[in-house]
Amino acid sequence: MKKSRLPVIRIRPARKASDHSGNHTSPPLYKTTLEGRTISFAVKHSNKAKLLRLEISPSAGLTVVVPAFCNTNCVLRFLKEKSRWILSKLTNSDMARHEKTTGLKDGDLIPYLGGFLQIEIRDCDRRGENVTLSQNKLIVTVRPGVAEINATIEKWYRAQARQILKEKVDRQSQRMVVDYNKMRLKGQKTLWGSCSRKNNLNFNWRLLMTPEPVIDYVVVHELSHLKEMNHTKKFWQVVAIYCPEWQQHRKWLKEHTIEINNILRA
């Protein structure tokens, strides 16, 4: 019986990144084909790395971090094994980069509490900039320009987040029998919430772009730190008591962070 061979993935140079002087400033890019889609990726060699690792960002794209002992065949096999994950993440990254570049416009959809709101943009009058929620429409009265539109919508989201998160935190804190000090809104790129040793809670206003059960999980997560200021097994046991499906919600956040983080960035 013949042994089956791994599918061959051809790899070819794409281009070399350089600055205006011609000096190379980042790893060279290569191209290969995964499940019928041609992708570009950079290879970054690391003497400290012990395992092959993938990095994806809207700006840099896909990078393969390669330990010193790995050769080209190792990289190709690794890419093939992770092809579905890579293609999924690149799709999210492409969507995020497109959103970041074009901004929001009339007729676009924007996520809100697990659903979507259709944006309707109206010219600004004497009453000034304003945002009104009407059923499933977000009516934005604003001066023309992507930056102004995004800033006005963000201001509305922050106001909604302040009210909705405060209500959820107060309700959950009573349920969990814990006391917090202050609640603040932040706009971190990757952090959804935090709890300080002074019992102050910070939440990302973009949580309103996630489903409500996910918001509830983040609230429970941070309030659980008032019982256990760590991420030990005991901490996760506390989270599980008040949010049994926390793993599912945590996974959702990891899969959608890049996409959500780039909405409303002009």
Report DSSP letters for 68-79, one per residue: TT--HHHHHHHH
pTM above 0.75, yes or no: no
- Other Cβ atoms less than 10 A from the Cβ of 260: the count is 20
Q: What 3-state class would DSSP assign to 122? A: strand
Return the domain boundaries, the chain: 11-102, 109-261
107 Ramachandran zone, left/alpha/beta (phi>0; psi -120 to 50):
left
Closest CA to 139 of 130, 147, 148: 130
Give the pLDDT of the chain (266 residues) as one tens digit per residue: 444 343 333 434 444 444 444 444 555 677 788 877 777 888 888 888 888 888 887 667 788 888 888 877 888 888 888 888 888 777 665 544 544 444 677 888 899 999 999 999 888 765 677 899 998 899 998 766 556 788 889 999 999 999 999 999 999 999 999 999 999 999 987 789 999 999 999 999 999 999 999 999 999 999 999 999 999 999 999 999 999 999 999 999 988 888 888 787 65
Could you please state the CATH topology (level 3) that the domain comprising 109-261 is classified under: Zincin-like (3.30.2010)
41 backbone φψ class: left, alpha, beta (φ>0; ψ -120 to 50): beta
Place of tokens 């209500």: 167
Phi, psi of 59, rounded to the nearest 5 degrees:
-85, -45
Scan for tokens 């804190």, then name that residue: 173
Residues 6+ apart with CB under 8 A from 27: 17, 42, 43, 44, 63
Calculate the dihedral angle through the C-alpha atoms of 51, 56, 62, 67, rounding to the nearest 10 degrees.
Answer: -20
Pick from 136, 91, 101: which is nearest to 256 by CA? 91
Residue 40 contacts residue 30 (beta carbons within 8 Å): yes
